Chain A
Amino acid sequence: MDYPARAIVAFAVAVLLTAGCGNETTIYLDLGTVLEPYAPPETAVELPPIEVRDGDGLPDTLPEDLVWVTNEEDPLFASPDAKRGGTFRTSILGFPLTLRRVGPDSNGSFAGFLRPNQFGPIALHPVTRRAIPALATHWAFGEDGRSIYYRLNPKARWSDGVPVTADDFVFAVQFMRAKEIVAPWYNNYYVERIRDLKRYDDHTYGVQGANAMPGAEMHASYGVGPQPRHFHVLNADWVANTNWQIEPNTGPYQITKVRKGKYIEMTRKADWWGDDVKYFKHRFNPDKIRVRVIRDPNVAFQYFLKGNLDTMDLVLPQYWHDKATGTAFDRGYIAKYWFYNEQPAASGMYLNMADPILADKRVRFGIAHSMNFDHVISTVLRNDYERLSTFQIGFGEYDNLDIKPREFDLDKADRYFDDAGFETRGGDGIRINDAGERLSFQVTYGWPQHTDRLVVLQEDARKAGLELVLDLKDGPGSFKKMLEKKHQIAWSGWAAGGLAPGYWEHFHSVNANKTQTNNITNHVNPAMDPLIMQYRSSTSLGERVRLARILEQMVHDSGVVVPTFRVPYTRAGAWRWVKLPEWLAPPTSASMFSAFANTGGFSGGGLFWIDLEEKERTLEAKSDGESFGPTTIVNTTYRVQPAS
């Protein structure tokens, strides 16, 4: 759906919600109070014990020979100068449809505030990418290569003061497998990927996954988070009952006020158990976080300029270069930060091999050589974005940096198209082959703001005698078409999370030519399949890295993906009183002003703090018209030179 239409729908939903709620629009919660049960505990269904398949299962007693490890030696990444206090004011585009962390409607943007605030057994260090303690202090790997044992921090508490124990983890698996939560994806994941979870004592448990992996990746995939066993009453009404329930969590903040349709306020727990944990020190500094609903990004930007929001995302070139200008910036009331990070990137044009013309590799190569990405970058993208060199990048060691993208070269395109039989040009300048077929393809995409980029590519592609027909659909509509494999060329990208690149879902032949799989290129290469399986089951990091680089090269050689752009940075504006560490953020950070943990499992958020004295000074200077001088900080420490 296009943005304004979406805003209208969101607005209508919000109106319905607020209208339907009557006097109950505000929910308050005092920190530290024990939450009342939301349903009579006797109505709860009895959850079956965790079912274990043949061949799976953890030992009944804790193995004696486990090597318990922890990590206290990695560097700190928060600033010791950070001060606690103040309110951090930020905004979202729509009011959440629920406050649940799982279940229907829980995947909206507010999940970005709920889920990272719920800590798991371990976190990943945002610089070294190694495991660091969170709820667990120690961990050990089982000898089957696919199980991990955790020893919990006895100080760990839920928001309401109840200790976090191994039972909460056992309950988590039962809970995630229960049909009552109406979350099929989780239901499936906790059966297919999480094979067993066993309690050994109050603070020790083990978890077993489906297949072996290197250690850090196993933490990321099998590191089940706890669920508050004492809180949930799981029955047929669970989804409705918990829709507006404030759930206890293990993170530093707790929702304390909800004004439906308007804002949600979170308060810092004063005696949070994590304050003593090494890697959580000097982090999560503001006393309060207020998330306000502002339904239009342009309006939100005006709020920011007026000082009613503390920070604003400035990733889009138009915002950074054009909108973020004027007095507040010139006088340094608002500072601009540009931080090059190391985020996985995978966006491209995915050519459907099932299309009879695109099945020809020469046509695919010709298309790649007809795409003038540099022209787009140097004009509409203002030289901010970079050309992505291959299918996916940003996984550290796994990256194959030897691959160079196919460049815009009309001579090469000519040769490839001629070889493929598209030798003559029609009256409109588009090539045709002997069968009279035109060299014309639909490009399916779902973001209206990408039309800019595509029309420039479209005009340059005409020079090669190639016609691109733009097929703009609303976001879900375009993705549906791609998953049904009805597209010719898909202009899209993958939210490449995790620690290692994935190939099985995108390129293995078992996923080709069937709907609802991520192999949207319908890529089939019998030589690649065994390598993918070998990569998937290998536990040696060196072996996996070697295989990943070979696989990436094979993807490049097949030409099914024309890599497009990567945004190798995050950018934001912040009022002078919002302070950041000197280094701005750790390399894996998706955002400098994320209040909690970060995306991709790395725990790098919550580094900023609010300096209340500075706030007073800034507001005084602002009313006196005094200038601090413009502040723009660009950090290129983690910049990888663009491939070209």
Chain B
Amino acid sequence: MKTQAVSSPHRPGASSDFDAVAAKPYGLRGRLREGLTINPQTVKQWRRFRSIKRGYYSAVALVVALVLSAGAELLVNGRALIVSYDGELYFPTYGDIIPGDTFGLDYEYETDYRDLKARFEAQDRGNWVLMPPVPYGPLENDLTPGYFPPYAPSFETGHYLGTDQTGRDVLARLIYGFRIAFAFAFLLLLCNYLIGIAVGCAMGFWGGVFDLLFQRVIEIWNMVPSLYVIMIVASIVIPNFWTLAVVMVIFGWTQMTWNMRTSTYKEKTREYVLAARALGASNTRQIASHVIPNTISVIVSFIPFSIAGGIFLLTALDYLGFGLPPPTPSWGELLAQGQNHIVTAPWIILSVGIAISIVLIMVNYIGEAVREAFDPKKHAYFE
């Protein structure tokens, strides 16, 4: 491995690519035939990433949080996990609502499971309800007439972080808000990068008039104030997850183009690309198999920061009131509430403030670690 590093100090991926061509059957199928071996370069980057402790542990924590929030309905929900009624088991968590009359209650709307649990316990006829650890959904108003929300955190009521100003559980809204923010950020990332990389590569690869033209187009496009566009969109339709994402992608893809354009310019003049071209590789093949794999470090090291940006963007829009429509759980909306109740209900601003800080710090730690792990300069040293 050491020799490789010496032979191509500035091209982290290039040397291994050539090795792969020379030493092993090329392509995924070939690798599978060989048994799944991982590119030694990748192994090295992974080791390096793991050695940066705070980045690694942040990544682990974030992945765990994401996995848990994906199943948030099982952990934080006003619907019961299991109801045993007259010998029959019900699993209300997912799917249609179960009306109250199913369990012998006198109403047709969705069962109030906390109330049902209390009833079953009082009746003591062998019926039982298993509630999730946090027995409140993100949209439920847990209000007691005569007592005025926001209610303070309490273990007794199950509002571990208290409620907001309409009696909704802060923890539930935090967790569901986290899931939505991440989903939004990932979606944004995927679309922005797909468009940004494609356009940026094309600009760098073809250069000339095409490049000049697109540079101007992007410069002009960047001048459009996206906040106003969102306000205009919001005045025509009720903004939802998808419309917001589309608008943000329309104005967000340009960022990636500049980086891809410069990287492509750099890579396309390298010998291996010239060689590929001399061998008769098509443009598509040159870009897809040679240029992009060698700019991967640029792309990967931007990802965590883009995610942080996506989360921050949605939070800011929600805070300003141009984001997802109420009553969607959202951090920005909690932040706005917290600001209003900063003295009277500090738990709101503390909960959401700490949550945002932790997540953004973790994402940035991961970003630093990834950048470090992919930094080509490090590979130039003999180890």
Contact = CB atoms under 8 A, between A and B. Distances in A.
Nearest to A453: B166
A413 B259 CA distance: 60
A1 B109 contact: no
A514 interface: no
B145 A378 contact: yes
Contacts of A414: 108
Contact of B99 (A1, A425, A456): A425
Contact of A380 (B108, B146, B166): B166
B325 interface: yes
B321 A462 contact: no
A455 interface: yes
A473 interface: yes
Nearest to A4: B320
A459 B78 CA distance: 13
Given A455-B141, A472-B321, A473-B235, A379 B148 contact: yes
A469 interface: yes
A472 B231 contact: no
Contacts of B139: 455, 459
Interface residues of A, number: 46
B50 to A, nearest CB: 42
B96 A427 contact: yes
B342 to A, nearest CB: 8
B144 A379 contact: yes
Interface residues of B, number: 39
A454 B319 CA distance: 18
Given A410-B107, A471-B238, A428 B143 contact: no
Contacts of A452: 165-166
A382 interface: yes
Interface stretch (A287-295, A317-325, A600-608): A317-325
Nearest to A425: B108
B205 to A, nearest CB: 41
Contact of A323 (B97, B167, B343): B343
Q: Chain A interface secondary structure, helix, strand, loop or mixed?
A: helix
B327 A464 contact: no
B143 A2 contact: no
Interface in B134-157: 139-141, 143-149
A296 to B, nearest CB: 10
A112 B344 CA distance: 32
A429 B325 contact: no
Contact of B107 (A323, A427, A463, A477): A463
B198 interface: no
A473 B234 contact: yes
Interface in A433-465: 442, 448, 451-452, 454-456, 458-459, 462-465
B143 A474 contact: no
Interface of B: 95-97, 99, 107-110, 139-141, 143-149, 165-168, 231, 234-235, 238, 319-322, 325-327, 336, 339-341, 343-344
19 contacts: A5-B231, A5-B321, A318-B165, A378-B145, A379-B145, A379-B147, A380-B143, A425-B108, A451-B166, A451-B326, A452-B166, A455-B168, A463-B107, A465-B109, A470-B325, A470-B327, A473-B235, A474-B321, A477-B234
Given A459-B139, A462-B110, A464-B109, 10 more contacts: A317-B148, A375-B145, A379-B144, A380-B165, A380-B166, A425-B108, A456-B167, A459-B141, A470-B327, A472-B325
